[in-house]
Amino acid sequence: MDVFKKGFSIAKEQANAVSEAVVSSVNTVATKTVEEAENIAVTSGVVRKEDLRPSAPQQEGEASKEKEEVAEEAQSGGD
């Protein structure tokens, strides 16, 4: 009986590991799909890059750099 319990326990652990790997893969694919869809929308001119909200939190340095770029663009008239 103990052999069966141990076998089921191992099978359960393996199923959990596989399940976590699948979920991680699905999340990665979904994130890349959204990023590519945003790129296509921006490239085709459907939306402006500034209109898209960030999909992931930005680092502090990146956020300040982006604010500087937007301010410079506003000063130059957007060209």
- State the residue for tokens 């130059």: 76
Of 36, 18, 16, the C-alpha closest to 26 is: 18
pLDDT of residue 52: 79
pLDDT of residue 55: 56
Q: Which token pair is 26?
A: 């699905």
pLDDT of residue 64: 59
pLDDT of residue 70: 61
The pLDDT of 64-75, averaged and rounded, is: 62
pLDDT above 70: residue 69: no
pTM for this prediction: 0.49
The string of pLDDT tens digits covering residues 3-32 is 888 888 898 998 888 888 888 899 999 999
